[in-house]
Chains A and B, each alone.
Chain A
């Protein structure tokens, strides 16, 4: 992958499909965006560069969902088998949403905000296609 990739949502998602968590960093003010942005909403600059995230962060907030969206229900999640939606604060600063795995989803009281996490890429088959979604798990 070359660094000429445009700063679009599709480029970001393509990186995810290739198991890379990438952001854009503003060359003028230094703010990092994950998901990627072409325009810096802090300083209005368009001078961006791609930066790869370490994939490390900590759990900022979460929930364990028993009544899920069709995308998750189709993949077998339900009241007896809940899944965790979470917000992760990356070491590089930005926050991102992802499914939290490797935890006891049906015992959410055991999950703690502040837990160190690392990135993982979640594969699933949807209508014969392999999908890769962003996930995080305890580090």
Chain B
């Protein structure tokens, strides 16, 4: 395993508001919002003349928005042309991959500073089309004709995990409850409401409409009710990430120049990337993602640390079951044991290993191509102690991780960050 040939830092990071932004905001508009937010969060400022290239992560602007060739489009909007600009695609791991390519390009010595854009505008399409576009990230010849949707593929994984480890629907619900609690504290999130709050507002609505009131005692009652319909058994609505529009922007810089932009750079301690067969049926295991295991193995080795050294993590919770798998495959917990940690609250904001303090894909939202970069935005804030509202963890974060997964686990990028 190689080391990076020189140290690289995240010197600025920002994002657009996540939500159903179309048509008020499209990819170009959201990218400018993210860029301006990142410039503002770069201590000494940063200008196009400081930047050598623009790497864009985007999954499917072609099918969502009838627009390809995003590299130069995004570069031009922020004054980066005629510098190199290109788009990278790896399903929901697209901007994680763009970020990693920026890191490798800087390590090579060719570039000193690279701007990373992650963006996706999904709500231009109705849900049935979104489902169809997302399904093209699975195997379109063998899984699609069998009826695979993304919720369906993760539900399939969940069914096997339930069988093998005794995981239950309630275990998954706890993940969603936690992520909504965190997202309620994130002003950039799509659904800034805890599930409790959501239940209260539904009851208020029913009251004003004079309808029968539900007898929900707690979140679990609500989550087991018809208000939380099954999308793909055993996954229900609140096990799924959101359909979201959004963009994120990262500025990565070589050690030699990082100090020009900030006195508190966040260093890339380790980066890893893994892959797996596109179809679940072509893999040896259903309940564990080899791409995650491989990407994290590389990242740990490069950083010279292990799972116990990670203090907080943003993991790819495209579905609640995916957060459980990530907690296991990243080595935080043994297989089958992550659900116990969720039960005891270890992954909560005030737990021993806070996971998805941003609200995760579940509550912050999941504009697929923007997600990897947006995870780094949250880590940047947490490590600098600037996370908004009541979301800042109560200890000094020295080391953190981002885990960005593509498709039903066929692509994965893991990054370890250090102060």
Question: What is A's interface to B at a CB cutoff of 8 Å?
Answer: 9, 13, 35, 60-73, 77, 79, 82-88, 94-99, 108-109, 113-114, 133-134
Q: Known contacts A35-B142, A95-B281: does B229 contact A66 (CB below 8 Å)?
A: yes
Q: How far is the CA of A9 from the CA of B229 in the complex (A)?
A: 37
Is the CB of B135 closer than 8 A to any CB of chain A?
yes
Q: Known contacts A62-B159, A96-B142: does B232 contact A67 (CB below 8 Å)?
A: yes
Q: Which segment, of B75-83, B126-134, B258-266, B395-403, faces chain A?
A: B126-134
Of chain B, the residue at the smallest CB distance from A34 is: B281
For the complex formed, measure the closest distance between the CB of B75 and the CB atoms of chain A, giving whole angstroms. Answer: 35
Complex contact B142–A69 (CB within 8 A): no
Write out the residue numbers on chain B whose beta carbons fall within 8 Å of the beta carbon of A86: 146, 156
Q: How far is the CA of A127 from the CA of B156 in the complex (A)?
A: 30
Q: Known contacts A61-B160, A67-B127, A95-B282: does B148 contact A85 (CB below 8 Å)?
A: yes
Q: How far is the CA of A88 from the CA of B159 in the complex (A)?
A: 13
Q: Known contacts A61-B286, A65-B151, A87-B156: does B280 contact A97 (CB below 8 Å)?
A: yes
For the complex formed, measure the closest distance between the CB of B120 and the CB atoms of chain A, giving whole angstroms. Answer: 20
Chain B 124-154, CB-CB to A under 8 Å as 1, else 0, gives 0001110110010001011111111101110
Write out the residue numbers on chain B whose beta carbons fall within 8 Å of the beta carbon of A60: 160, 286
Write out the residue numbers on chain B whose beta carbons fall within 8 Å of the beta carbon of A64: 230, 232-233
Q: Could you say which of A61, A73, A97, A109 contacts B146, with CB atoms under 8 Å apart?
A: A97
Q: Known contacts A71-B145, A85-B146, A133-B146: does B160 contact A65 (CB below 8 Å)?
A: no
Complex contact B128–A61 (CB within 8 A): no
Q: What are the 3 A-B residue pairs with the smallest beta carbon separation, nearest first?
A: A63-B155, A108-B233, A95-B281
Is the CB of B231 closer than 8 A to any CB of chain A?
yes
Q: How far is the CA of A61 from the CA of B147 in the complex (A)?
A: 14
Complex contact B151–A67 (CB within 8 A): yes
Of chain B, the residue at the smallest CB distance from A98 is: B146
Within 8 A of A (CB), among B313-359: none
Q: How far is the CA of A116 from the CA of B382 in the complex (A)?
A: 50
Complex contact A97–B148 (CB within 8 A): yes
Is the CB of B163 closer than 8 A to any CB of chain A?
yes
Complex contact A85–B229 (CB within 8 A): no
Question: What is B's interface to A at a CB cutoff of 8 Å?
Answer: 127-129, 131-132, 135, 139, 141-149, 151-153, 155-160, 163, 229-235, 279-283, 286
Write out the residue numbers on chain A whose beta carbons fall within 8 Å of the beta carbon of B156: 61-63, 85-87
Write out the residue numbers on chain B whose beta carbons fall within 8 Å of the beta carbon of A79: 229
Complex contact A69–B127 (CB within 8 A): no
Complex contact A68–B147 (CB within 8 A): yes
For the complex formed, measure the closest distance between the CB of B136 and the CB atoms of chain A, giving whole angstroms. Answer: 10
Complex contact A9–B143 (CB within 8 A): no
Q: How far is the CA of A134 from the CA of B143 in the complex (A)?
A: 11
Other A-B contacts than A60-B286, A65-B155, 17 sampled, CB-CB below 8 A, are A60-B160, A62-B159, A63-B235, A64-B232, A65-B149, A66-B229, A66-B233, A67-B131, A67-B149, A69-B144, A69-B147, A70-B128, A84-B147, A97-B139, A97-B143, A97-B148, A99-B147
Q: How far is the CA of A65 from the CA of B232 in the complex (A)?
A: 4
Complex contact A63–B282 (CB within 8 A): no
Complex contact A71–B144 (CB within 8 A): yes
Complex contact A113–B163 (CB within 8 A): yes
Q: How far is the CA of A108 from the CA of B147 in the complex (A)?
A: 16
Write out the residue numbers on chain A whose beta carbons fall within 8 Å of the beta carbon of B135: 69
Q: How far is the CA of A70 from the CA of B139 in the complex (A)?
A: 16
Complex contact A97–B279 (CB within 8 A): yes
Write out the residue numbers on chain B whose beta carbons fall within 8 Å of the beta carbon of A84: 147
For the complex formed, measure the closest distance between the CB of B123 and the CB atoms of chain A, giving whole angstroms. Answer: 16
Of chain A, the residue at the smallest CB distance from B231 is: A67
Write out the residue numbers on chain B whose beta carbons fall within 8 Å of the beta carbon of A82: 230, 233
Write out the residue numbers on chain A whose beta carbons fall within 8 Å of the beta carbon of B234: 63, 108
Complex contact A61–B157 (CB within 8 A): yes
For the complex formed, measure the closest distance between the CB of B187 and the CB atoms of chain A, giving whole angstroms. Answer: 30
Q: How far is the CA of A66 from the CA of B135 in the complex (A)?
A: 15
Complex contact A87–B280 (CB within 8 A): yes
Q: Could you say which of B139, B232, B286 contacts A66, with CB atoms under 8 Å apart?
A: B232
Q: How far is the CA of A62 from the CA of B229 in the complex (A)?
A: 18
Q: How far is the CA of A94 from the CA of B141 in the complex (A)?
A: 17
Complex contact B147–A65 (CB within 8 A): yes
Write out the residue numbers on chain B whose beta carbons fall within 8 Å of the beta carbon of A113: 159-160, 163
Of chain A, the residue at the smallest CB distance from B151 is: A67
Of chain B, the residue at the smallest CB distance from A133 is: B145
Write out the residue numbers on chain B whose beta carbons fall within 8 Å of the beta carbon of A109: 233
**Can you list 22 A-B pairs with a CB-CB distance of less than 8 A?**
A60-B286, A61-B163, A61-B286, A65-B147, A65-B232, A65-B233, A66-B230, A66-B231, A66-B232, A67-B131, A68-B131, A68-B149, A69-B131, A69-B144, A69-B148, A79-B229, A82-B233, A85-B146, A87-B156, A87-B286, A96-B281, A97-B279
